[in-house]
Structure 1
Amino acid sequence: MSTVIEQPVEARLVAAAPRMTTIPATLHYDPDDPFAVRMTFPAPATLEGVDVCWTFARDLLAAGLLEPEGHGDVRVRPYGYDRTVLEFHAPEGTAVVHVHSSEVRRFLDATSELVPTGYEYLQLDLDHDLAELMRDA
């Protein structure tokens, strides 16, 4: 059984509908998917009225604390003294949220204690995954 890290963060919604000044969001990390983090937004903060979860690279989140990163659906960049901007691009539009960089750093530190950066591959069972892939082929 693996340990999963979940950390609530306060996100300030900058551009999207419905308009909310701050929304609770949760950062998730599961060592079973060691390269990824997830950020979940509650139903009241989404256009669809259901929880929305974005999955993106842990490295993207870490690099985005220092300089603008990302060219796809998720982009991360520093903003001011202790803010990090996350942009989520979807066909329905773009959501831009600010979070405290200190909260992101605390989350990343916890994930690194669980699975050190650069050692994610040790969490993978490639033989098992390949066998599963071949079984379904």
Structure 2
Amino acid sequence: MSSVIEQAVQVRLVASAPRMESVPATLRYDPRDPFAVSMWFPAPATLEGTEVSWAFSRDLLVQGVDEPAGLGDVRVRPYGYDRTVLEFHALEGTALMHIRTSELRRFLKRAQGLVPAGREHLHLDLDADLAELMRDA
């Protein structure tokens, strides 16, 4: 049986004219996709007024709490005392937000307890993934 970790967090959206001081978000880790984490934002917290979810590497988040990480659509870096900056780049623009590093570390510790780093391959279901690919062939 698979356990999914979800953790509610508050992030501070960095903007020239912010709509809200902080916005709710949910960090999610599912061992069925052991290399990834996702961050979900409810509709009221987004400019488009629709739910938004970003999936990115768990390793990117681990590295980014201690040093700048990421070159693509998601970038993570430490910022001052107990803050981490998350940048999400899309065609519509860039969302820049601060989150408490302690909350990220707590989430990552829980994910590490579920699937230790270096053991992710043991949680992959390659047969099911291959069957899914072949179903359309």
Deviation at 1:16, TM superposition (A): 7.4
Moved more, 30-39 or 16-25: 16-25
Aligned length: 137
- Describe the SS at the equivalent of 2:19: coil
* Structure 1 residues 25 and 116, CA gap change in structure 2 (3 angstroms): same
Deviation at 1:134, TM superposition (A): 2.1
* Structure 1 residues 44 and 50, CA gap change in structure 2 (3 angstroms): same
- Describe the SS at the equivalent of 1:99: strand
Moved more, 117-126 or 99-108: 117-126
Q: Which residue of 2 aligns with 1:100?
A: 100
- Trace 1:121-132 onto structure 2 (pairs within 5 A): 121-132=121-132
Q: Which residue of 1 aligns with 2:116?
A: 116
Q: Which residue of 2 aligns with 1:53?
A: 53
| Distance in 2, Cα, partners of 1:81 & 1:64 | 14
> TM-score, normalised to structure 1's length?
0.94
Does 2:27 correspond to 1:27? yes
Matched-pair identity in %:
71
Q: Which residue of 1 aligns with 2:74?
A: 74
Q: Which residue of 2 aligns with 1:37?
A: 37
| Distance in 1, Cα, partners of 2:16 & 2:126 | 40
Which runs of at least 4 in structure 1 moved beyond 6 Å after TM superposition? Answer: none
Deviations 1:8-48 (CA, angstroms, capped at 9, x unpaired): 11100002776221011110000111111000111111111
| Distance in 2, Cα, partners of 1:67 & 1:81 | 13
Q: Cα RMSD over matched residues?
A: 1.4
* Structure 1 residues 4 and 17, CA gap change in structure 2 (3 angstroms): farther
- Describe the SS at the equivalent of 2:104: helix
Which stretches in structure 2 are left out of the alignment for 5+ residues?
A: none
Moved more, 89-98 or 15-24: 15-24
